[in-house]
Structure 1
Amino acid sequence: MEEQKPVGVMSRFLGSLIGRIRTLLFSVISIGPIPQHIAFIMDGNRRFAKKWQLEEGAGHKAGFLALISILKYCYEIGVKYVTVYAFSIDNFNRRPDEVQYVMDLMHEKIEAFMQEVDIVNRYGVRVLFIGDLDRLYEPVKIAAQKAMEATVHNTNTYLLICTAYASSHEIQHAVSFACQEKIDGVPAMEVANLEKHMYMGVVPDPDILIRSSGVTRLSDFLLWQTAKCVLYSPKALWPEMGLLGLVWGILKFQRNYYYMEKKKKLD
């Protein structure tokens, strides 16, 4: 036991040192504009497992740990909204056993996240599940509902989890409801009325969309909401993203901030 004490002391020292360096880094970055809303396509979990010859599911587990770290960094630096793409509607077309595996994994990770009391309570995170939630398997739907109910009074930061989601489906859903609704003196198809019925209408549009693994397509994710935001696609697979990947994304946002703001005003 005595031999382990120096290791414990060194570990705490390194943890404290890394924390101070991160705080200093964030204070420097905060001199510039900080995105209010960052969206992530968490791409590369399977390739990460294949790259390191890990067992099935290990890539998603590593991806979950990466998400926890990224959330902490985002909330520490002042990002209020974080949106992640968890499961597309198109994914339901996969083999039944594969869909069942992902649903089981999602159920497990929702419950695991709710055990991350440090994040949920320290940062006052409100969890919102976005998409056609009726398509979810019942255990996942129940877990998602419990997570939303448990955090409903939190308003400091938000985590939006897009599951059973596709942007084309979201737009179709919004158009359908907008056509059914009659507003006094306002045409049903005005943009403001359409956006009100979007699944993502509960939060501001993303300032930057980050897709890991170097892939540059949007994959039917937030097509409407990303019309005027910065896109960034680092080569790192999702479990490899880490602090530097996030920092480079924010720096890219800052480099394009005034140009994007000017474009918004012109539009």
Structure 2
Amino acid sequence: MEENGKSITSSLLRSVSRFLRNCLFAMLSFGPMPNHIAFIMDGSRRYAKNRIVQQGTGHRVGFKVLTSTLQYCYEMGVKYVTVYAFSIDNFKREPAEVQSLMDLMKEKIDELLNRESIVSKYGIRINFWGNLNLLTEPVRLAAMKAMTATAKNTGPVLSICVAYTSTNEIMRAVEKAWEEKRKEIEQMDSAISVGDLERHLYTANCPDPDIVIRTSGETRLSNFLLWQSDYGHLQNRHPLWPEFCLRHLIWAILEFQRVYPYLQERRGWCKKEG
């Protein structure tokens, strides 16, 4: 009887929380809302170190934060979310740590495909951007499976950057554009244009991010979406990624809305100059 009462109370609290959250999101929607938010999820290792817990603990907590953050984004109407999960430079870490992260990544990718997961709930389409050949085979196969399984989903889009750097992405796009242009070498117009390059970026079918958020207070982009972030609003939130919560996301949206007229003006000015 007592357990049943606790269950009812817990369900009621969740319902009230969801109602209040929806009211807050409705108020936010009176201002301009971002279509695409990108996150540099920084601080998981420091989170574990500060709390003197096992190293992988920070990344596990970080995955829970990612799940809740995705839910908040999709509830408020954000259609695209991109996260920087693992840089090519991260392969320089200790082999044991890299392997541990690969194992965790495989586990969490599999979890995303569970029937009860947020992917199923919102009909999310998953992209993995980066040099997937650098991943361990189990992770690479899991990533390919996730993309295939969600390819026909029509809901929001989650793009996960793994074995990724923006430099590598741009080099890949240039190579692919050149391969395409070599077939036109006898034509007068065989130079690679900006449009040719952008067509071969991972983000070809995705709008540029409106907001780029890096947690842990760092002010570097760390080779993340450099080409795509020229008119995105860059924000450095001070909490470590496992500490990121709804109020930080709300504040990020409010900051974006505050500078939105300026961002629009700059975009318009750039188009005129172009």
Q: Once structures 1 and 2 are overlaid, which stretch shifts more, 146-155 or 175-184?
A: 175-184
The answer on 1:235 being equivalent to 2:238 is yes
Where structure 2 has 5 or more consecutive residues not aligned to the other structure, the ranges are none
d(CA) in 2 for partners of 1:174 and 1:63?
31
Structure 1 SS opposite 2:17 = helix
Partner of 1:175: 174
Q: 1:41 to 1:116 in 2, by over 3 A?
A: farther
Partner of 2:62: 63
d(CA) in 2 for partners of 1:249 and 1:80?
16
Structure 2 counterpart of 1:257, from 260, 267, 270: 260
d(CA) in 2 for partners of 1:258 and 1:191?
26
Q: Is the 8 A contact 1:129 1:163 kept in 2?
A: yes
Please report the TM-score for the alignment, with normalisation by the length of structure 2: 0.93
Give the % identical residues: 51
The alpha-carbon deviation at position 54 of structure 1 amounts to: 2.0
The answer on 1:126 being equivalent to 2:125 is yes
Residue type matched to 2:164 in 1?
Y
d(CA) in 1 for partners of 2:146 and 2:83?
16
Structure 1 SS opposite 2:216 = helix
Structure 2 SS opposite 1:162 = strand
The answer on 1:219 being equivalent to 2:222 is yes
Structure 1 counterpart of 2:206, from 203, 206, 209: 203
The alpha-carbon deviation at position 107 of structure 1 amounts to: 0.7
Q: 1:262 to 1:140 in 2, by over 3 A?
A: same
- Cα RMSD, aligned residues only: 1.4
d(CA) in 1 for partners of 2:53 and 2:99?
20
Q: 1:126 to 1:49 in 2, by over 3 A?
A: same
Q: Once structures 1 and 2 are overlaid, which stretch shifts more, 110-119 or 99-108?
A: 110-119
Q: Is the 8 A contact 2:113 2:120 kept in 1?
A: no
d(CA) in 2 for partners of 1:74 and 1:116?
20
> Deviations 1:127-150 (Å, cap 9, x if unpaired)?
000011111110001000110011
Q: Is the 8 A contact 1:178 1:188 kept in 2?
A: no
Q: Once structures 1 and 2 are overlaid, which stretch shifts more, 87-96 or 24-33?
A: 87-96
Please report the TM-score for the alignment, with normalisation by the length of structure 1: 0.95
Q: What pairs up with 1:20-31 in 2 under 5 angstroms?
A: 20-31=19-30
Where structure 1 has 5 or more consecutive residues not aligned to the other structure, the ranges are none
Residue type matched to 1:251 in 2?
L
Partner of 1:152: 151
Residue type matched to 2:27 in 1?
V
Partner of 2:138: 139
Partner of 1:43: 42
Residue type matched to 1:250 in 2?
I
Q: 1:239 to 1:103 in 2, by over 3 A?
A: same
Residue type matched to 2:39 in 1?
F
Q: Is the 8 A contact 2:131 2:162 kept in 1?
A: yes
How many aligned positions are there? 266
